[in-house]
């Protein structure tokens, strides 16, 4: 953004004051001293140059906005720019000024299936992911209107913002009895349950709309102190109120993320002893 004439002139005067040669020759405080008048003329010329450059940049950006092709990443980034409760600049697809506190969407991913864009979005609710609310306040409706406004003409978009897919997991955990007790807790700190903590953290750290791979979870458990042999007995997931389906090697959550409750996590602890 262009500096003001006053700002530019002050920078010139500061430079003169800092120069050991000029500051002993140009010291008059009179507003009509020759060097001050020259500094004003130069500042005005620079201000005009910067203003014209800003206008040119704005015109170029407007042209690019109407010509560039929008890919899936653009749509995901655009979703995150949504500001709840704020209006777009008239006849534009952006906000001015930007209000980061109103940008409620923390996670977004877009896929194209049979010519339709499927946009998954979620917000942060403390340490957890959550869908956009439908009431008190309504977040999903204004977001849908926002997407209708900023999307390219003719593009069909299906917006998905739901609670995380349920994961149901049953595992045998062969543990080192020198480190972990029969309830799966650390002998040195009963507040920690290594297998359970590792599973919860693993699921929480899966990238949004990323794959859940049971084999990778097993790897993470094997790297956990005190756990010798983790065995997946069964692994299922479901979207919304649908029936559970077996996770065959991997699964991408329909909501973009997974949740697992204590009721859906069964850990059968077995001491890894000889004999």
Please list, in sequence order, all residues whose beta carbon lies within 8 angstroms of the beta carbon of residue 202, skipping any fewer than 6 positions away. Answer: 216, 217, 220
CB 184 within 8 A of CB 173: yes
Predicted structure pTM score: 0.74
Question: What pLDDT does residue 66 have?
Answer: 62
Parse the chain into domains and list their residue ranges: 5-67, 72-160, 165-271
The structure tokens listed for 5 are: 């004439």
Interatomic CA distance for residues 57 and 54, integer angstroms: 5
What is the reported pLDDT for 275?
65
Using alpha carbons only, what angle is made at residue 249 by residues 245 and 252, rounded to the nearest 5 degrees? 65
Q: How many alpha carbons fall within 13 Å on the CB side of residue 120? A: 21
Do residues 239 and 255 lie in contact, with contact meaning Cβ atoms separated by under 8 Å?
Answer: yes
At residue 16, the pLDDT reads 82
Secondary structure class of 267 (helix, strand, coil): strand
Cβ contact 221:198 at 8 Å: yes
Q: What is the pLDDT of residue 269?
A: 98
Mean pLDDT in consecutive groups of 10 residues from the start of the chain, 275 residues:
88 85 74 80 90 88 71 96 97 94 98 97 96 96 97 95 98 98 96 97 97 98 97 97 96 98 98 86
């Amino acid at each position: 953004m262009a500096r003001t004439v006053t700002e530019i002139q002050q920078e010139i005067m500061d430079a003169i004051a800092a120069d050991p040669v000029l500051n002993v020759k140009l010291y008059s405080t009179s507003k009509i001293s020759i060097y001050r008048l020259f500094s004003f003329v130069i500042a005005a010329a620079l201000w005009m140059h910067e203003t014209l450059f800003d206008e040119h940049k704005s015109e170029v950006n407007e042209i690019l906005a109407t010509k560039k092709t929008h890919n899936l990443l653009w749509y995901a980034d655009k979703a995150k720019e949504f500001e709840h409760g704020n209006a777009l600049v008239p006849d534009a697809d952006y906000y001015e000024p930007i209000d980061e506190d109103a940008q409620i969407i923390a996670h977004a991913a877009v896929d194209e299936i049979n010519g339709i864009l499927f946009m998954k979005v979620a917000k942060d609710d403390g340490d957890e992911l959550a869908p956009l609310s439908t009431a008190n306040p309504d977040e999903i409706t204004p977001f849908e209107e926002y997407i209708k406004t900023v999307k390219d003409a003719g593009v069909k978009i299906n917006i998905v913002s739901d609670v995380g897919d349920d994961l149901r997991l049953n595992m045998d955990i062969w543990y080192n009895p020198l480190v972990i007790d029969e309830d799966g807790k650390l002998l040195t700190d009963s507040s920690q349950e290594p297998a359970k903590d590792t599973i919860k953290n693993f699921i929480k750290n899966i990238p949004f709309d990323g794959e859940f791979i049971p084999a990778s979870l097993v790897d993470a458990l094997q790297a956990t102190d005190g756990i010798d042999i983790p065995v997946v007995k069964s692994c299922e997931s479901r979207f919304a109120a649908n029936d559970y389906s077996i996770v065959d090697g991997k699964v991408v959550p329909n909501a973009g993320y997974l949740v697992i409750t204590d009721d859906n996590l069964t850990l059968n602890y077995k001491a890894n002893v000889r004999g």
